[in-house]
Amino acid sequence: MNQIQFLGTGWSHGVPMIGCDCRVCRERKPENVRRRSSLRLTDTDSNTIVIDVGPDFRDQAITFGIEKLDAVMITHQHADHVMGLDDIRRFTWQQPGPLTIWVEPGSLDRMNTLYPYVAQERSPAKAVPLVEFRAWQGPVRVGAWELIPHPVPHGDLPCVGVEIRCRAFRAGYVPDASGLPNDLIAHLQGVDVMILNALRHDPHPSHLSLEQSIELLKQIGATRSFVTHMGCPLDYHTLKTELPDRIEPAKDGLVIEVEEATVSPQSV
Ligand SMILES: [Zn+2]
Ligand SMILES: [Zn+2]
Ligand SMILES: [Zn+2]
């Protein structure tokens, strides 16, 4: 079965947040424990793609049982989306050649600055990731999946949202954005699944608030919609009862089964 899985659904701090004594952080209910935002795609041939590798990647790989990687996609250069890259060496050294890291083009220089030591040729020590950074400028196919980047506004930095296709199935994944361009809203209209950033209730200059996210999700009108990249001001259980029909809070580990154009979420 082809699957989409949330490896992380938190804002850049993760939840609970260091030093925060709010109710969500204090109670640590499992549904409110949010690793840094990341998505895993797998197909029936075990091809595995991960979108973003934040500081929680090691925990995510162990907790959710990632066994191999066929591609990694980077939506933008913020630390909560790239600072776990060193840990992918455990995967790259089991594979014959460098792993391709598809990077939003405006973030390539930053990746090379952050990770100047990544090797593109084997060395005996196996101490560094064996990867090749490539500009993600158009559709990338890996197994049953096709991943198409679409620029979205996110503060001063270039950033992309991802259109995910798997045969007739279509989804949108935008973990970080302060809005969506009108042509992208039109393009995504009626997708099977739409996953969108919702940081908190209060407005933020480079992220969507929950209320802004709900409005955009209504415009897109996906069969199923999820909010992600959430901070501790948002409680899973409150969202679960208060969000409009067909809009749900994501949670770490949640799996969406993808079979042709039909989808049925199930929890793990
Ligand atoms: Zn982020
Ligand atoms: Zn908190
Ligand atoms: Zn960001």
> How far is ligand 2, taken at its centre, from the CA of residue 21, in Å?
6
> How far is ligand 3, taken at its centre, from the CA of residue 37, in Å?
10
> How far is ligand 2, taken at its centre, from the CA of residue 118, in Å?
35
Residue 159: pLDDT band (50, 70, 90) is: very high
Which of the ligands is closest to the CA of residue 177?
3
Supply the pLDDT for residue 266: 55
> How far is ligand 2, taken at its centre, from the CA of residue 138, in Å?
38
Place of tokens 């999946």: 145
> How far is ligand 3, taken at its centre, from the CA of residue 1, in Å?
31
Residue 124: pLDDT band (50, 70, 90) is: confident
Supply the pLDDT for residue 265: 54
- When pLDDT is averaged across residues 186-195 and rounded to a whole number, the result is 97
> How far is ligand 3, taken at its centre, from the CA of residue 176, in Å?
5
Residue 251's CB: how many other CB atoms inside 10 A? 22
Average pLDDT, the chain: 94
> How far is ligand 2, taken at its centre, from the CA of residue 24, in Å?
6
The answer to whether residue 243 scores a pLDDT higher than 80 is yes
Place of tokens 């996906």: 222
Side-chain half-sphere exposure of 142, counting CA atoms within 13 A? 24
Which of the ligands is closest to the CA of residue 206?
3
Supply the pLDDT for residue 260: 57
CATH code assigned to 2-266: 3.60.15.10
Cis amide bond preceding 139, omega within 30: no
- Min mean pLDDT across 28-42, 115-129, 141-155, 158-172 is at 115-129
> How far is ligand 3, taken at its centre, from the CA of residue 44, in Å?
31
* Residues, CB within 5 angstroms of ligand 2 (ion): 17, 20, 22, 25, 232
Provide the whole-model pTM: 0.95
Supply the pLDDT for residue 268: 47
Residue 138's CB: how many other CB atoms inside 10 A? 8
Supply the pLDDT for residue 186: 98
Supply the pLDDT for residue 264: 53
- Min mean pLDDT across 28-32, 89-93, 177-181, 196-200 is at 89-93
Which of the ligands is closest to the CA of residue 10?
1
Residue 88: pLDDT band (50, 70, 90) is: very high
